[in-house]
Amino acid sequence: MVDALIKLAVAATFGALVGVERQIHGRQAGFRTQLLVCLGSCLFTIVSLRVYEIYGTISDPGRIAAQIITGIGFLGAGAILKDGALVRGLTTAASLWIVSAIGMAVGFGEYYIAAAATVIVLLNLVVLKNVESWLVQDNYAAILIRTEGETEVDVSSMCKEFGVKILENKLRYLKAEKIIEQRVQLKYKDDAKLSAVYSHMKKIPNLMELQIL
């Protein structure tokens, strides 16, 4: 009993440490969520081991633990949000996943492994995130263009001029209104290039609407 209580306390502490970092950065899966995930994973693991101790070889101690991974998948999916071409919440979903693994490790009595994993997770979230700012990365955006008439806007030449790549160009003609609508998916390296393309597009003849989605 004492051993189980110690495991629950340790799991709650490790989960809380990761949760504090997420909470500080305004993530929905923050302090309490991370704590509960780690604590719950630990409890399920303890229960699976106790069942094995009681019923012996007729039970599988890994069966309940295996289902933890499936359950965390649903939580992680709920943390991921797609806003146009931008996807948010992947790091939070990954933190929920690793926190559940830490809770399982504590439940199995692997305190050192769980502690080491917690330290690595915190280093990743607090320290290594600064490395991302040093890396040149691709950025994505979607632009909606609406023009009056029946002539398609040549966005290809515009984007090529400023070093912006077109990934997709969806065209729709609204016959009743005589409006051409274009949704353009772009890939670029520098925000200044996107701003330059956007400013240039403002000069499109017969332009009715222009917005970054």
Predicted confidence (pLDDT) per residue in 28-68, tens digit: 667 787 888 888 888 888 888 887 777 766 666 667 777 77
Domains observed in the chain? 2-132 (no CATH), 139-212 (3.30.70.260)
Q: Which two tokens stand for residue 154?
A: 């040549």
Burial of residue 7 (CB within 10 Å: 0-12, 13-18, 19+) is buried
pLDDT band at 133 (very low <50, low <70, confident <90, very high): low
Mean of all residue pLDDT scores within the chain: 82
Residue 7 CA to residue 46 CA, distance in Å, equals: 9
Average pLDDT over residues 21-34: 74
State the pLDDT at residue 112.
Answer: 92
Which residues, 6 or more positions from 185, have their beta carbon under 8 angstroms from its beta carbon? 85, 140, 141, 142, 166, 167, 168, 169
The β-bridge relationship of strands 207-212 and 139-148 is antiparallel
75 or 116, higher pLDDT? 116
Rg from Cα positions in the chain = 25
